[in-house]
Structure 1
Amino acid sequence: MLVFVVAGGELPEPQRFAPFARAANLVIAADAGYDHLLAMGARPHLLIGDLDSISPTALADARRAAVPMETFPTEKDCTDTELVLREAVRRGATCVLACGTFGDRLDHTLANVLLLASPALRETDVRLLDARQEVRLVRGSVQLRTQPGETISLLPVGGEVRGVTTTGLYYPLSDATLQTGPALGISNVAVGEDVAVRAASGALLITRIFTGGLDATQYLRDLVAPSP
């Protein structure tokens, strides 16, 4: 099940994400993510959060449209983004596309990226995106559909990652060990339309910078296309 999550961080070009809202089986907004969805011409199936950043206009729209809400106190032990990702998993998500998770608050951005390593999300393909890039966490192996020239970076999280082997990258890795800190995996380049990454142990954050920005329609095609 494809779930589209919209958080309340920065999202300069919300219209780029409208195809995700149309294609998803379930759309969930975290607080001010509702405002972003309205800018896409969409509404969520569910609004979650402490409602401290949603605009009065968006909140009035949610109430007028009878959008289901799950509200939480401002003083809590997790962020609104964590709440929506956990709810997506609880409802059976197999893939989650999440936007509005980056912004000018470095602490929130880092917390959202590190959420990908949460045990609660381990069995779900969760991807954080903005208009020009994405990040996902991979254990084992993954096949990426890319455009030539896209920047691909591999960052270990939670300790060293052993046995890293890649194909389709300008700087290939073969049975390499990536350690937290050194930037061995930074700024690689896709040389074709398919990139493969395999790790024998550990977890990798894989970032991808889209050539020309996110094309959500093509992204969805690649999402459902069988691996070569």
Structure 2
Amino acid sequence: MDERRAVLVAAGELTDEDHLLELLQGGLAVAVDGGLAHFRALKVVPDLLLGDLDSVSDDDRHWAEAGGCEVVELPSQESSDLAKAMAHMNHIGRTRVTIAAAAGGRADHQLAVWGALADAPDELDISIHLGGDMGLRCCDRLRLGMQEGTVLSLFALRSATVSLSGTSWPLERERIEFSDRGLSNLAEGGPVLLEVHEGGPVLMILTAGDND
């Protein structure tokens, strides 16, 4: 098991159970509050249950505890359960964080996900799975090999000065804000390099399917 890796399963939509089972291999399996229901549906007991637990039924909690799951109650209402979970991962040294089942549901909850990514400790290497798409948070530098035509979008979670190369529409030390400017860029078939020179973090989303 990778001692730095954790998979946080939130209470949003889960579109691919087999993919989640793959993600859970080799890392700390963490149910974020109501995300425990996904684990129970898969008949997989998580290693850890975190949150204020207001969305966890007594029956689900007893099932998890009977299976050996550690429960850490984080009652603060000043941040979301996902934000608290990421801060806790940083505290225990789980700095490679994968987030699943965070999409869908109420619009305010979805916006809170982006806010949590903006506020999460810079020490965390965060990826988030959004249906068939994947988001990668970048606080400093990100280098990826991509096939030609791969659709990628760039969003500043906080105002940032960035450079982007290896794409159809590169950037050179340009200031970006949270807007639609970075929507639907295309990889040119070699390495894609993203650098955050100032501000941030930024989120790169790799899109499955077409580039409409």
Deviation at 1:211, TM superposition (A): 4.8
Distance 1:180 1:33, change over 3 A: closer
- With over 3 angstroms needed to count, the CA separation of the structure-2 counterparts of 1:145 and 1:36, relative to structure 1, is farther
Q: Does structure 1 residue 128 correspond to structure 2 residue 128?
A: yes
What residue in structure 2 maps to residue 59 of structure 1? 61
1:91 positional shift:
0.9
Identify the match of residue 192 of structure 1 among 189, 192, 198.
189
Deviations 1:106-147 (A, max 9, x none): 1111111121221x5111112221231222332332112434
Tell me which residue corresponds to 2:84: 83
Tell me the distance in 2 between the aligned counterparts of 1:70 and 1:104.
25
Q: How far 1:188 sits from its partner (Å)? A: 0.4
Equivalent positions of 1:1-228 (< 5 A) are 1-24=4-27, 26-54=28-56, 58-73=60-75, 76-118=77-119, 120-159=120-159, 161-162=160-161, 164-181=162-179, 183-192=180-189, 194-203=191-200, 204-211=202-209
Summarize deviations over 1:145-199 as a string: whole Å, max 9, x none.
Answer: 434333211122322x22x332221222233332344x32111012325311123
1:111 aligned partner, one-letter code: A
Which AA in structure 1 matches 2:37? D
Gap change, CA 1:20 and 1:206, over 3 Å in 2: same
Please tell me whether the aligned partners of residues 15 and 40 of structure 1 are also in contact (alpha carbons under 8 angstroms): no
**How many residue pairs were aligned?**
206
Q: Distance in 2 between matches of 1:104 and 1:117?
A: 20
Deviation at 1:41, TM superposition (A): 4.6
SS at 2:136 equivalent: strand
Measure the CA separation in 2 of the matches of 1:57 and 1:16.
Answer: 26
Alignment partners' CA distance in 1, 2:168 and 2:125: 26
Q: Deviations over 1:42-87 (max 9, x none)?
A: 22111112333335653342132131112355x7222221221111
1:67/1:208 CA distance change after superposition, 3 Å: same
Gaps of 5+ in 2: none
TM-score, normalization: structure 1?
Answer: 0.79
Question: Partners in 2 of 1:50 and 1:165 — Cα distance?
Answer: 39
Q: Do the aligned partners of residues 175 and 85 (structure 1) sit closer, same or farther apart at CA in structure 2, a change above 3 Å counting?
A: closer
Q: Which runs of 5+ in 1 are unaligned?
A: 213-228
Aligned-residue CA RMSD in angstroms? 2.3
Q: TM-score, normalised by structure 2?
A: 0.84
Please say which of residues 55-64 and 120-129 is displaced more in the overlay: 55-64
Q: Distance in 2 between matches of 1:66 and 1:11?
A: 24
Contact 1:17 1:40 in 2 (8 A): no
Shift of 1:32: 2.1
Letter in 2 for 1:11: L
